[in-house]
Chains A and B, each alone.
Chain A
Amino acid sequence: MAESLPIAAKSEFVAGGSFAIVSADVAEAVSRQPTHRHAVFVRITHWLSALAFLALLVSGAEIVLSHPRFYWGETGNVNTDVLFKLPVPSSRALVPTGYGYVLPDQNGWSRALHFQSAWLLVFVGVLYVAFGISKQHFRRHLLPARSALAPKALAGSIVEHLRFKRPSEAEAWSYNVLQRLTYLFVIFVVFPLMIWTGLAMSPAFTSTFPSSVTWLGGRQSARTLHFLLTVFLMAFLFAHIFMIVLAGFRSRMSAMITGRGPQGKERA
């Protein structure tokens, strides 16, 4: 991977004016052990998205507690049949849950935090996609090679994952095919759907763009889809953290925080 030593790492030496005085063996060590893993824009947008996502998750859960029932179609309430309901207590006495108590109402701040975090995530997402395109991040790091998409290669990768095999050293420097496909799916399919289903619940937005909700089958369908997408994203989050632990929590975390790839003991 030495040939892929990023320009940024080299130019840092130049900018510091110390390139000339770096001894030959240090330069060689650097090229043997590249230090650059994640670009600055990836790291900043990653952690801002993580922050916004956690805030959306917590506040979303609080909002759901005020009505833990889901419907399909345009309308739904405690007088109508459910599609499914969650086996949790509710923060409203109106909802029959089978629990003998009502949780405190937390919807005020939850809603405010939910929408504010959604704005943050949208801004961060726009920046990420703009940088990702201009710096060829998607093309170079996320689009899988054609050969990796061959059924045999894909099946091999799936089997490796199912065996919880610790990722190879090369994978500390580049994403494997399943990782690439999952990230692309989350970035370009799940998050846009999340925004869409969220907006489809807005009575003002749908007054101007009615098809945003009718295409989904109605307001309650939009709400249910919004929830199901959350369940998918929670599964993604668990898998993501599990894979990080499997690959080496410290090295992966430090790569996403400092940008440097694995070094020293963990590199073995």
Chain B
Amino acid sequence: MSKISRRRFITTGVAAAAGLSGLAVASKLAGRYGLIPPDSGGLYGPGTTLTYAAQRVLIRQSLAREFDRSQISQKPLANEVAPLPDDFKRMEKGSFADWHLNVTGMAARPTSFSLAELKRFPSRSHITEIACEEGWSYIAEWKGVPLSYLLGRVGALPQVRYVVYHSIQSDWWDSLDMADALHPQTLIATGMNGNDDLPVPFGGPLRMRVPRQLGYKSVKYITGLTLTDDIKRFGKGLGSTEPEFGYSWYAGI
């Protein structure tokens, strides 16, 4: 009774073949248009990839929501940070005069910028919400150098696909694709809430601020950038440290 008819067998076969080749074509196209994240492998790779690809197609250069000055959180929350290295404490004593941002990799003019230099560059500020993956959030005004300005300044080569950023917490690094690296709200933050120095608990003296992604992409205590076209060469090739702990590299959710 449950014999499958020949017609059904053939239709199912043709549909399956079409589906599979469709999938193959789709993944090839996705790779070409930069829709595959570095952490696309593994058990949860499909979900992570779908989210990233869908958002990269749907969301282009739109700005993260900005808020009124009156909405700035009276009590912003600095998340816990791991103990800072001695190097950090030494520079903190000297008001971070020795702090440098070392830009290397695929740039015409790789440069090491001092904190004072960075603060003299054209700055931009925005009042945005920072949301932790745990669920809590606060609104603050962030001020800093747009990452896109810095990339222009060092003469980033056209083939750069990722900007890798390193923290003084040496085992912590992350990266952005060019959509977020060149986004006008992505800042190397040097100040917060009208304060010209970024307080240490909030990532001072330098913090990457990426308002279109969750808080963990806004890495604190930035000391260097590497411009690259091959993210696989860094760490375990997953784009950042987070995927090693199960967190997705792309955190626009």
Please give the residue numbers on chain A whose beta carbons come within 8 Å of chain B beta carbons, in ascending order.
12-13, 15-16, 18, 63-64, 66-67, 69, 74-80, 92-94, 107-109, 111-113, 115-119, 201-208, 210, 213-214, 219-220, 223
Contacts and interface: CB of A to CB of B under 8 A. Distances in A.
Nearest to A105: B245
Interface residues of B, number: 48
Given A93-B80, A201-B131, A203-B129, A79 B1 contact: no
The 8 closest A-B pairs by CB, nearest first: A108-B246, A116-B47, A204-B252, A112-B44, A79-B75, A77-B136, A67-B135, A66-B134
A13 B1 CA distance: 7
A69 B134 CA distance: 10
A116 B247 contact: no
A214 B60 CA distance: 20
Contact of A94 (B80, B248, B253): B80
A208 B135 CA distance: 21
Interface of B: 1-3, 5, 43-44, 46-48, 50-51, 55, 58-60, 62-65, 67, 71, 73, 75-77, 79-80, 129, 131-139, 211-214, 242, 245-248, 252-253
B64 A116 contact: no
18 contacts: A13-B1, A69-B136, A75-B137, A79-B77, A80-B75, A112-B47, A112-B246, A202-B253, A203-B253, A204-B252, A205-B55, A205-B58, A205-B253, A207-B62, A207-B63, A208-B58, A208-B60, A214-B65
Nearest to B247: A108
A75 B68 CA distance: 13
Contact of A203 (B3, B77, B212): B212
Contacts of B139: 74-75
B137 A77 contact: yes
A77 B77 contact: yes
